[in-house]
A and B are shown apart, each in its own frame.
Chain A
Amino acid sequence: MKDSYTLKSLAVLLENNKISSKELTSEYLKNIENGKDLNCYNTISQEKALIDAEKSDERRKSQNLRSKYDGIPIGIKDLFCTKGVATTASSKILSNFVPNYESTVTQNCDDAGLISLGKLNCDEFAMGSTNKTSFFGSVKNPWKSVNSDNELVPGGSSGGSAAAVSGDLCVASLGTDTGGSIRQPASFTGTVGLKPSYGRVSRWGIVAFASSLDQAGPITKTVEDAAILLDIISGHDEKDSTSSVNPKENYYENLNSDIKGMKIGIPKEFRSDKLPASTQKSWDECANLLKTNGAEIVDISLPHTMSALPAYYIIAPAEASSNLARYDGVRYGLRVKGNDLIDMYEKTRSEGFGDEVKRRILIGTYVLSSGYYDAYYIKAQKIRSLIKSDYVEAFKKVDAILTPSTPSTAFEIANEPSDPVQNYLNDIFTVPVNLAGLPGISIPYANDENNLPIGLQLITNSFEEQKLLNVAKNIEETINYSETPEKWWLK
């Protein structure tokens, strides 16, 4: 398997008949089998993927392709409903759930001829930043520190999606991002992770966590591939009333890495003594690089940045407690027998949900309950307005904002803090972007002293994905990051 496979390069190989979809799909299925130790996939669609690949090869022969990318296999986070294929959200409560409908995003992929290799592991109901909350066990990061043989977290919640791309268990994948769940694992695995603007991609058929924050997006090896996959999945969907009617652009075709005259903001509130020196160094270097390439670097202020995380941990659990009320053992999913209806609900939910999901449902129930609603929920929504207006003001002065993606590089699975709040701090740089509904991308910049990837985040104004991708492309072209993990799982 060549590490240089991308959506772009595979499209060329398929077009020139250097490889068939069936050969390619078999190759990835083999990689998945050999990479089982990474625990990336909850479901491997071996049979279906090969049948779909054969169909794609037939379409290619009859010159009836669905798109240039017809026949390329990808991985799908186990949060997208897929017709006839188990969709579990990595939860016990949905472990027997096989949807009879297809999410809009995965339908869009199918319409482009992409093939699903299977469903990727994630934190339970996308709640977590380490992938440890999955009912099916932790995903392992393909990267290891040069100073230790211990296994590292891939980040989360789209940890399987990021680890699979990083470890070549798929060329690209779909993830979802409510508070950083695409960008943080992308940062921990040396991959590119894009969270689109709220409304750019349909949420229909995606297991809901926090409906005002959730967005689906791609995890890929390159910025070009992120643009290609965004082209495929984005656009208005009449089945999702919060999907934007703004026309989508041709992100890939319009990629232009010229940033001359652009203004890039560096927010002072993201600076911290606690930031590792190597991350700070990458951040500074990248700003200098953008300056060299013709952009102007502008110091900006986003005064309410530190309030974003506490506001998020009111709003997201509140929405989650409402969304997850549907798991009651009546219509689908797990049912645990009880003495009466209420007892059945309580036993089903107690056995079906893991600890982190329960914590968030309980906090959400609390902040929405009578007597606390104004003090917590409404208060957090007011803070959300302040955060949003910080960014509105900032984008009057700059085109894009550059920050680190995460406050650290990947850490050991065994070292995950037991205090939930310590874990929440992983998302401190990514959460404000979701609250404000903006697009953000994490791109790998360099490796730290332990040879672990450092990700940097770019943010632009709503629906300015093109600008976001253009700046990201400029950085990617200049630094030419080409580090790949050593494949320790191949014995």
Chain B
Amino acid sequence: MEFDKKSLLKLGKLARISISDDKLNNLSKDLNSILEFVDQLKEIKTDQVDPTSNSLYQKLEVRDDKVDTKNSAEDILENAPEKEMDFFVVPKVIE
């Protein structure tokens, strides 16, 4: 597949990144170049191979169910661009 203007704008929607018209040409050229590069993997046979998502073969430990006092609402809200009481404020979503 090739990235054209339409597919690139759709991808931008999925990734929540707006793409301006003047960037479209260069971006599609770059992404097509990357895609062409990774497409060489198609030539390698992998039918009998299991995927590896993580190189560390270790059982995940279950931690103790203890209460701690870290991560207070105040701490979590400290860097919020906009806040009110104990809430993050975002533009209105429900009319």
B residues 36-62 near A (Cβ < 8 Å) are 36-42, 44, 46, 49-56, 58, 60-61
Q: Is the CB of A385 within 8 A of B50?
A: yes
Judge if A310 is at the interface, Cβ distance under 8 Å: yes
Complex Cα distance A366/B42, Å? Answer: 16
Residues of B within 8 A of A363 (CB): 31, 34-35
Q: Is the CB of A244 within 8 A of B53?
A: no
Taken residue by residue from 52 to 94, chain B's Cβ proximity to chain A (1 for < 8 Å, 0 otherwise) reads as 1111101011010000000000011011111000001011110
Residues of B within 8 A of A340 (CB): 91-93
Among candidates A310, A369, A462, residue contacting B14 with C-beta atoms closer than 8 Å: A369
Known contacts A244-B58, A310-B37, A385-B50: A347-B15 contact under CB 8 Å: no
Among candidates A330, A362, A419, residue contacting B12 with C-beta atoms closer than 8 Å: A362
Q: Is the CB of B56 within 8 A of A338?
A: no
Residues of B within 8 A of A238 (CB): 61, 63
Q: Is the CB of B52 within 8 A of A384?
A: yes
**Which A residues fall within an 8 A CB radius of B?**
96-101, 198-199, 212, 238, 241-242, 244-245, 304, 307, 309-311, 313-314, 321, 325, 328-335, 338-347, 349-350, 353, 358-359, 361-363, 365-367, 369, 372, 375-376, 378-386, 388, 419-421, 424, 435-438, 462
Residues of B within 8 A of A353 (CB): 17
Q: Is the CB of A331 within 8 A of B80?
A: yes
> Closest Cβ of chain A: how far from B20's Cβ, in Å?
8
Complex Cα distance A331/B39, Å? Answer: 37
Complex Cα distance A366/B27, Å? Answer: 14
Judge if B4 is at the interface, Cβ distance under 8 Å: no
Judge if B25 is at the interface, Cβ distance under 8 Å: no
Q: Is the CB of A313 within 8 A of B52?
A: no
Complex Cα distance A245/B62, Å? Answer: 13
Q: Is the CB of A358 within 8 A of B17?
A: yes
**Which B residues fall within an 8 A CB radius of A?**
1, 8, 11-12, 14-20, 27, 30-31, 33-42, 44, 46, 49-56, 58, 60-61, 63, 75-76, 78-82, 88, 90-93
Among candidates B17, B61, B91, residue contacting A338 with C-beta atoms closer than 8 Å: B91
Residue of B nearest to A463 (CB): B56
Q: Is the CB of B34 within 8 A of A382?
A: no
Complex Cα distance A309/B12, Å? Answer: 25
Known contacts A330-B81, A347-B18, A436-B55: A310-B31 contact under CB 8 Å: no
Q: Is the CB of B31 within 8 A of A359?
A: yes
Complex Cα distance A350/B15, Å? Answer: 10
Residues of A within 8 A of B38 (CB): 310-311, 313-314, 367, 376, 380
Residues of A within 8 A of B91 (CB): 338-341, 343-344
Residue of B nearest to A310 (CB): B38
Q: Is the CB of A198 within 8 A of B56?
A: yes
Q: Is the CB of A362 within 8 A of B56?
A: no
> Closest Cβ of chain B: how far from A490's Cβ, in Å?
38
Residues of A within 8 A of B40 (CB): 307, 310
Q: Is the CB of B78 within 8 A of A384?
A: no
Q: Is the CB of B81 within 8 A of A241?
A: no
Known contacts A311-B41, A330-B81, A332-B79: A420-B33 contact under CB 8 Å: yes
> Closest Cβ of chain B: how far from A355's Cβ, in Å?
8
Q: Is the CB of A350 within 8 A of B17?
A: yes
Complex Cα distance A365/B8, Å? Answer: 11
Complex Cα distance A321/B38, Å? Answer: 17
> Closest Cβ of chain B: how far from A167's Cβ, in Å?
33
Residues of A within 8 A of B8 (CB): 362
Residues of B within 8 A of A367 (CB): 38
Residue of A nearest to B15 (CB): A365
Among candidates A198, A382, A419, residue contacting B55 with C-beta atoms closer than 8 Å: A198
Residues of B within 8 A of A361 (CB): 15, 17
Residue of A nearest to B76 (CB): A331
Q: Is the CB of B31 within 8 A of A362?
A: yes
Residues of B within 8 A of A358 (CB): 17, 27
Known contacts A212-B53, A379-B46: A330-B58 contact under CB 8 Å: no
